[in-house]
Amino acid sequence: MNKASFHILRVGLAITFLWIGLLILKDPVAWSGYIGPWLLPYLPVGAKEIMLTTAFFDIIVGLWLLLDYKLWIPAGLATLHLGTVIIVAGINAITVRDIGLFAASLALLFETFPRK
């Protein structure tokens, strides 16, 4: 991948994660509406707590992507997270965009995964 394209992808993804994390932190209850109802009975803690954890997770991943250190780790975490979101929330008018974000994270993971 071209170096400039790579950094544009990295910073763009980082900003998305940071901002979403912040928005979830602001109103975790509203965001918990995206958790599929089928999953709620199986959650070990409340939906609000799950969303608060997600918010901090998103902010950490975003900051890590921004700081460009051992990128395969935050890229892997982002891929796993977005894959989980697609499964948990299902695909609707909002989460359809997560497919693009998932693909972007996966591209970043492939690009940064340590090779022998």
Partner 1 sequence: MTALALIFTLAAIGIAETRYLITKRMEGNAPVCFIGQDCHKVLVSRYNKILGVHNDILGLLFYLSVGFITALIVLEVPTSLPLVLFLGVMLFVGSLMSIYFTYLQGVVLNSWCFWCLMSAMTIWLMTIVFIFI
The CA distances from residue 115 to 77, 109, 112, in Å, are: 18, 12, 9
- Closest separation between CB of residue 15 and partner 1, Å? 5
The phi, psi pair for 17, rounded to 5°, reads -65, -45
- The yes or no reply on residue 7 touching partner 1 (CB under 8 A) is yes
The phi, psi pair for 38, rounded to 5°, reads -65, -20
Contact stretch for partner 1 (CB under 8 A) within 11-19, 34-42, 80-88, 94-102: 11-19
The CA distances from residue 100 to 32, 42, 43, 72, 95, in Å, are: 21, 28, 27, 18, 10
- The yes or no reply on residue 11 touching partner 1 (CB under 8 A) is yes
Q: Compute how many residues bind partner 1; rule: CB under 8 A.
A: 16
- The yes or no reply on residue 39 touching partner 1 (CB under 8 A) is no
- Closest separation between CB of residue 26 and partner 1, Å? 5
Which residues lie near partner 1 (CB under 8 A)? 3, 7, 10-11, 14-15, 18-19, 22-23, 25-26, 62, 66-68
